[in-house]
Amino acid sequence: MPRPLRFVPAGAVVEVTARTVGSRFLLRPDETTNNLVLGVVGRAQELYGVRIFAFTVMSNHMHALLGVDHAAQLAGFMQHVLANISKEVGRHHRWQGPLWSRRYRSIVVADAESQAARLRYVVCQGLEEGLIDRAERWPGASTTVALMRGAPLRGVWFDRTAEFEARRRGLRPDPRRTERVYRVGLSQLPAFADKTTTEYRAFVRELVQQQERAVSANRRKEGKTSVLGVRRIVAQDPHAAPTDSDRSPAPLVHAASRAVRAAFHSAYRAFVDAFRTAAACLRKGLIADFPAGAFPPSLPFVDPESKTT
């Protein structure tokens, strides 16, 4: 099944998901992995200017809630994040081959109610999956504690090119030249931008506490008395994988009302129609006018039989 065209309205809030190959626990939390991930994300944010509202890195996938100006900014940011996490974590766990199963998946979050719902989902990932009983106890790289209490998020970026050049010249890499600490900056969701910092943190805490109560009640109803727990999470083999993994289809948009969802679908259909029309012109060798925000396809194959001398 072909992937849908990437359609990101200007200034959109998007939820992004990426999963490891075979759902292996290659992102299993430990101090080194957390430090590497935060360093990569901090550097990518400085390079591309993406607004980060929340993210959580689970053992075999990651979720992020981002604010972007356009699709190219999102693509550049995610390419940098995924490529460099793949290299650094692959090196850490001695993993050969690709780390990610496919290109990231992005879903536009279209209204205020959906923004709050997706924020709760991202920061409470460990709760949702029955791994921990308190959201802030997740041991992996996450914005949960920072959003709730203002704790700083920092990681280290390792300049592997500088390291290689130093070793090539027979020198020992100097950490002052090859390592840089990056801070991950967090923004408030646009729907709640009028709140003060204190109010916003209280808002996030309330979202989390509501979810903790709901998950706890469901666990009691189902007769479950415990969660996996931090000790067993960090003891997982990073090359292992769960017996089964959720592969539910992704929606085109997160919207709380039928009207907002219908409006987005209408805009998406118009975008797709304009893209297909332009692509047809391109195939015929005519001037192709692709819609704003599109990634035009590469030029078509030139048949040698059609070339005249």
Confidence band for 2, pLDDT divided at 50, 70 and 90: low
CB-based contact 184:155 (threshold 8 Å): yes
Query: Which pLDDT belongs to residue 244?
Result: 73
DSSP string of the chain, one letter each residue: -PPPPP---TT-EEEEEEEBGGG--TT---HHHHHHHHHHHHHHHHHH--EEEEEEE-SSEEEEEEE-SSHHHHHHHHHHHHHHHHHHHHHHTT--S-SBSSS-EEEEE-SHHHHHHHHHHHHTHHHHTTS-SSGGG--SSBSHHHHHH----EEEEE-HHHHHHHHHTT----HHHHEEEEEPPB---GGGTTS-HHHHHHHHHHHHHHHHHHHHHHHHHTT------HHHHHTS-TT---S----PPPPSEE-SSHHHHHHHHHHHHHHHHHHHHHHHHHHTTS---PPTT--PPPPPP--GGG---
Strand-pair category, 13-19 with 154-158: unpaired
Q: Could you tell me which residues come within 8 angstroms of residue 148 by beta carbon, excluding any fewer than 6 positions away?
A: 136, 201, 204, 205, 208
* CA 262 – CA 264 distance, rounded (Å): 5
Buried b (16+ CB within 10 A) or exposed e, 261-286: beebeeebeebeeebeebbeebeeee
Please check the confidence at residue 302 and state whether its pLDDT lies above 80: no
Query: Which pLDDT belongs to residue 308?
Result: 52
Give the tens place of pLDDT for each residue, 86-133.
999 999 999 988 999 988 999 999 999 999 999 999 999 999 888 999
Q: Could you tell me which residues come within 8 angstroms of residue 266 by beta carbon, excluding any fewer than 6 positions away?
A: none
Look up residue 29 and give its amino acid. Answer: P
CB-based contact 131:137 (threshold 8 Å): no
* CA 264 – CA 81 distance, rounded (Å): 28
Give the tens place of pLDDT for each residue, 156-187.
999 888 887 888 888 888 787 888 999 999 99
Token pair belonging to 60: 């075999």
Give the tens place of pLDDT for each residue, 215-271.
999 998 988 888 999 999 999 999 999 987 666 788 999 999 999 999 999 999 999
Partners of 15 in beta bridges: 65, 107
Which position has the token pair 């190959």?
A: 21
Q: Could you tell me which residues come within 8 angstroms of residue 71 by beta carbon, excluding any fewer than 6 positions away?
A: 6, 7, 8, 293, 294, 295
Q: Domain locations in the chain?
A: 13-242+249-256, 267-306
CB-based contact 118:55 (threshold 8 Å): no
Give the tens place of pLDDT for each residue, 268-300.
999 999 999 999 999 888 999 999 999 998 766
Query: Which pLDDT belongs to residue 160?
Result: 86
Query: Which pLDDT belongs to residue 9?
Result: 94
Report the interhelical angle of 31-48 vs 71-92 (nearest 10°): 150
Q: pTM for the full model?
A: 0.92
Look up residue 181 and give its amino acid. Answer: V
Give the tens place of pLDDT for each residue, 186-219.
999 999 999 999 999 999 999 999 999 999 999 9
Which position has the token pair 């100006």?
A: 69
| 13-242+249-256 maps to CATH 3.40.50.1980 | no
Query: What value does the mean pLDDT take over residues 11-17?
Result: 97
